[in-house]
Structure 1
Amino acid sequence: MSESAGSRPEISGKRPRRRHDGAVVSGILTYALVIVAALIPVPYLIQMPGPVVNTLDEVDGTELITISGTETYEADGELNLLTVAVAGGPERSLNASQVLRSVVAPSDTVVPTEAYYPLTTTRDDVTGQNSAEMASSQATATAAALGELGIEYDSVIAVSEVVAGSPADGQVQARDHIVSVNGEPIGGDEAAAQTVADTVRGADTVILGLQREGEHLEVELEPADIHGQQMIGVTMSQAYDFPFEVTFNVDGIGGPSAGTIFALAIIDELTPGNLTGGKAISGTGAITPEGAVMPIGGARQKVVAAADADSEYFLSPAGNCAEVLEAQGSSELTVVSIDTLSDAHAAVQDIAADRTDELPSCTGGDEQR
């Protein structure tokens, strides 16, 4: 009797051999491609919470801020400056796997490198810029602190850089103080620098009055076209003549964002008692010589750092409020919104005295009093 068309075929004692060679090879290739893709350099940098430094404490046995030439007072408590660690950037490429890990990390921020640095920027450029911004923040913090305390000081317009091959090259030197232009005395504020620039743009000849190491000089310059503008080829900045010396022991930290905390620490050392009342206060904010507190980058990472350091209070520039409130760890802190050094000074005094019910707070970017 023959087998019907719909019956099952006879099964032998040996199972048919399955071929996996193609699938195995495909899987290996896919895995290898994933590995290679993960290691490809990508043009991004990662911002992460950095070290927390108490400006009222010592660093390697030396006070972080030392004031000499006037009476000072011992300060206690915590006025913490906050930092942002950066991975990647010019000459320090990251790979895709590093970036992907930080994309999902709530404490990190991934940004295109070009958002911060032009393509031609070198690592030395970054280091130099950060150092210059830190030095500037120390000087402006000192000016703001003295202004808050009503202590007089002098300011001048100084030459910070001379462009090689420009009309000023060979006649003007870095660190010269510009005291007059075409015979007209100028002050030491930002308006004075603008006066010099405006005069240069509208004149065939400019006579600069300079102070160089105590000597008065006059130099005559003919402005030239530089990058499409009439210039003499100098970069100007404010410099200060303070009635006493303020020295900062800060290494390996750059940028302008410590200005507000520096100013508060100087105020603490120049006034009797403990400004903080022994409280743990962290904060951030660039500052102007007039005491205006400016928003900064990396606020999200600084909140995380402050919370991890067990700070009780966080002083935030009003312009950073929205970012601060969204940051991991903000619920563990009392966030205080500040627009000026006077705001920050008053807030710290209130914190020290436990008058915290009416501290100005962040509410989605606006200050609430």
Structure 2
Amino acid sequence: MLRRVITLFAAFALLVGFGVAGMYLPVPYLVASPGITLNTIGEDPDGGPIIRIDGEDHYEHDGGLSMVTVQYSGGPSTRMDLFTVLSAWLSPSQAVLPEEALFPPDRTVEEISEAQSVQMNDSQTNATAAALTQLGIDYDTRALVAGVGEDLPAAGAIKEGDIITSVDGDPVDSKEEVVEKVGDRTPGDDVEVGVDRDGTEETVTLTTVEGDDGTPIIGVLVSNDMDFPMDVEISVGDVGGPSAGLMFSLGIMDRLSQESLTGGHRIAGTGTITPDGEVGAVSGVEQKMVSAAREGAEYFFVAAGACPQTFDSAATGEIEVVKVGELGDAVDALDAIRTGDGLDALPRCEPN
């Protein structure tokens, strides 16, 4: 009898031991936590402006137009243990995600980091374009060939760095125009493409092929090369991704405007931006709202597509959420906040 008791006790202890040990085994999950906030009309850690403008009169104003971030812990090279992940799952301000959400298995960490840097650079360019458009300041755009696919019609005929100037004789000055004009045909049709190569104009005739989505393509990656009448430099350190585009645009506008956009109020927000000012939804809004509330923001701007996330945040009810669909909506909301006129009519997120 005693031997049986001892055996059962030993088995129980072994089971508990395995259970405790299992709690500290690394698991393929990420933890998303509230990250840092950066006031785009404020100063960087070195004491200089986060948004620096050269070649145009610019101004400094009180208030805040803050971008907010999410801090991710874990990953293929720094996996967390199960105990830490479970603790985060129980936290109202954190979220647990599968590792693949940020680190797809077919991409290296270096590739992901590089892609995020490119997205950040693109968001700054798009933000500058959107801000200047909103202010009525003209700038030039060119359709730059950023890459040429192998074994596709453009290979050997068009080179990276070329500027596409026309499609079938019609002038084009943006990526969107090139895509639209090439796509307005049936795969197998010919298309004449005019290019500027180091100042020399050339015209090539290519036969389109069917792309992965069924649309006709010629095999070039085109980006918008924008020539602004001023230099805009944004310094945010190692932060990557496209989600600060909206707040960059507002920050640039505030720098270029004699009158403050905020009237001294503190605003935070998140959302991508296109050159024409369309605001896109991003993830991590739940954690970003917590960051904004902790920093004392009064209002939080968010794209309409991200509205459902705002009701799942630990900061829900602690900060006023304003829904924006385009940059002009954000500017109108700032006008209401600054003047106090029309606050009740600010667009809000509605629960499903």
Give the TM-score category using the shorter length: 0.7 to 0.9
Q: Residue 95 of structure 2 is aligned with which of 86, 95, 109?
A: 109
Q: 1:262 aligned to 2:253?
A: no
Other-structure match for 1:358: 344
Structure 2 counterpart of 1:272, which letter?
A: Q
Structure 1 counterpart of 2:305, which letter?
A: G
Q: Residue 179 of structure 2 is aligned with which of 193, 204, 207?
A: 193
How far apart are residue 197 of structure 1 and its match?
Answer: 4.5
Note closer, same or farther for the CA distance 1:188–1:327 as it changes in structure 2 (3 Å cut): same
Structure 1 counterpart of 2:19, which letter?
A: V
How far apart are residue 280 of structure 1 and its match?
Answer: 1.2
Structure 1 counterpart of 2:270, which letter?
A: T
Contact 2:304/2:349, CA 8 A, preserved across alignment: no
Contact 1:91/1:122, CA 8 A, preserved across alignment: no
Cα RMSD after superposing both structures:
2.8
Structure 2 counterpart of 1:271, which letter?
A: S
Note closer, same or farther for the CA distance 1:62–1:179 as it changes in structure 2 (3 Å cut): same
Q: TM (normalized to structure 1)?
A: 0.84
How far apart are residue 140 of structure 1 and its match?
Answer: 1.2
Deviations 1:326-348, CA, capped at 9 Å, x for gaps: 31112221221211211111211
Structure 1 counterpart of 2:245, which letter?
A: G
The structure having more radius of gyration, on CA atoms, is 1
Gaps of 5+ in 1: 1-15
Q: 1:151 aligned to 2:118?
A: no
Q: Residue 38 of structure 1 is aligned with which of 23, 41, 61?
A: 23
How far apart are residue 41 of structure 1 and its match?
Answer: 3.7
Other-structure match for 1:314: 300
How far apart are residue 18 of structure 1 and its match?
Answer: 8.7
Specify the SS of the correspondent of 2:311: helix
Q: Residue 221 of structure 2 is aligned with which of 212, 230, 235?
A: 235
Specify the SS of the correspondent of 1:201: coil
Q: 1:66 aligned to 2:52?
A: yes
> How far apart, CA to CA, are the structure 2 residues paired with 1:198 and 1:36?
61
Specify the SS of the correspondent of 2:174: coil
Other-structure match for 1:7: none
How far apart are residue 173 of structure 1 and its match?
Answer: 3.7
> How far apart, CA to CA, are the structure 1 residues paired with 2:221 and 2:183?
10
Structure 2 counterpart of 1:43, which letter?
A: P
> How far apart, CA to CA, are the structure 2 residues paired with 1:91 and 1:224?
41
Contact 1:90/1:122, CA 8 A, preserved across alignment: no
Specify the SS of the correspondent of 2:344: coil
Note closer, same or farther for the CA distance 1:246–1:129 as it changes in structure 2 (3 Å cut): same
How far apart are residue 114 of structure 1 and its match?
Answer: 3.3
Deviations 1:106-164, CA, capped at 9 Å, x for gaps: 11222223345532121012112211211111111111111111112222222223335
Note closer, same or farther for the CA distance 1:96–1:241 as it changes in structure 2 (3 Å cut): same
Q: Residue 332 of structure 2 is aligned with which of 343, 346, 360?
A: 346
Deviations 1:270-289, CA, capped at 9 Å, x for gaps: 11022211211111111122
> How far apart, CA to CA, are the structure 1 residues paired with 2:238 and 2:290?
20
> How far apart, CA to CA, are the structure 2 residues paired with 1:217 and 1:198?
22
How far apart are residue 49 of structure 1 and its match?
Answer: 1.1
Note closer, same or farther for the CA distance 1:101–1:169 as it changes in structure 2 (3 Å cut): farther
Q: TM (normalized to structure 2)?
A: 0.88
Q: Residue 271 of structure 1 is aligned with which of 257, 266, 284?
A: 257
> How far apart, CA to CA, are the structure 1 residues paired with 2:188 and 2:132?
36
Other-structure match for 1:133: 119
> How far apart, CA to CA, are the structure 1 residues paired with 2:345 and 2:239?
30
Other-structure match for 1:285: 271
Q: Residue 246 of structure 1 is aligned with which of 217, 232, 238?
A: 232
Q: Residue 69 of structure 2 is aligned with which of 52, 59, 83?
A: 83
Specify the SS of the correspondent of 2:292: helix
How many percent identity over aligned positions?
A: 36
Contact 1:140/1:259, CA 8 A, preserved across alignment: yes
Moved more, 296-305 or 67-76: 67-76
